[in-house]
Structure 1
Amino acid sequence: MIKPTPNPPEENLETESTSPYESADSRKLHDAAERALDHYLCPPGNPGPKRKSGPMYAVAPDVDSEELLANASETLASAKHIAHDFANLLPAPHRTTLLGIAQLVMIGELAVNRALDNLEIEADKRL
């Protein structure tokens, strides 16, 4: 009987390499996969590399909390007014979306104002 395919060559299977890195590209892919897994599955105790803050838009470390909160409150109030004014120019579906965003900004503004009130109450108690 004649076989349609020849027998495979005799190789020593024990000495065959089992490395997944057959080429430099596969090594790069493996490293990229490891970085992605580390990014998404990094334990909470290990926050990963620290980000550097640039000098642009940096807040001076000696500014007190009350001043920061007052500035944040004014910024949120401005954003709320801009969103309301712009919402009047949009068609209905987009208007409701922008009004929802304005409401979220307003909630943030209320929280910041409450924090300001709390600081004022704490300051009064100390006196």
Structure 2
Amino acid sequence: MFKVTPNPPDTDPVPPDAILDAQKLKEIADRAIDLYLSPSPLNASLPPRKPSTIFLINPKIDNETLLVHACESMASASVMASDFAGFLEGPQRSTLLALQQIIMLGELAVNRVLDNLVPAE
């Protein structure tokens, strides 16, 4: 009987792991263990972040004023999202109405904080 394919070449069966020496394996294992058991902070080598001052809110503004402004901004965003949803159909409309509802819930939460806030005299 004739064999269609030739025999594979004769090679020494060397497992790929035998190429690595014990020291390299130890280094790899130590790095893996250190990564999971004692991770270094990701921002350790980064310089501290300096926030931009282009849109700076005066630190002397009281909390009530900030909450009122946040409430008015969220009310405006809710109305804009609702109006824009009127121009859409299908899944896009549903998505925008869901976002409008999330904005409205945030507005309600800020309003509750304002209601619970005791005015400073």
In the alignment, structure 1 residue 18 sits paired with structure 2 residue 23: yes
Q: Does 1:103 align with 2:104?
A: no
Displacement of 1:17 in angstroms is: 7.0
Alpha-carbon distance in 1 for matches of 2:94, 2:82 = 10
Structure number with the higher helix fraction is 1
Aligned match of 1:93 = 91
Aligned-residue CA RMSD in angstroms? 3.8
User: Does the C-alpha gap of structure 1 residues 86 and 38 become closer, same or farther in structure 2, counting only changes over 3 Å?
Assistant: farther
What is the 5 A alignment of 1:1-127?
A: 18-19=23-24, 38=39, 51-119=49-117, 122-123=118-119
Gaps of 5+ in 1: 9-15, 21-29
> What secondary structure sits across from 2:23 in the alignment?
coil
Distance change >3 Å, CA 81–CA 17, structure 1 → 2: same
TM-score (ref. length: structure 2): 0.62
Q: Which amino acid aligns with 2:24?
A: S
* Structure 1 residue ranges (4+ consecutive) displaced by more than 4 angstroms after TM superposition: 47-50
SS at match of 1:19: helix
Q: CA deviation at 1:52?
A: 2.7
Superimposed CA distance per residue, residues 71-104 of structure 1 (whole angstroms, 9 cap, x where no aligned partner): 0001100110110011011112110110011000
CA shift for structure 1 position 58 = 2.3
Partner Cα separation in structure 2 for residue 109 and residue 93 of structure 1: 24
Superposed displacement of residue 53, structure 1: 1.7
| Stretches of structure 2 lacking an aligned partner (at least 5 in a row) | 1-9, 15-20, 26-30
Length, aligned pairs only: 98
Question: What is aligned with 1:25?
Answer: none
Identity score, percent: 39
Mapped partners of 2:116, 2:69: distance in 1: 16
Q: State TM-score, norm by structure 1.
A: 0.59
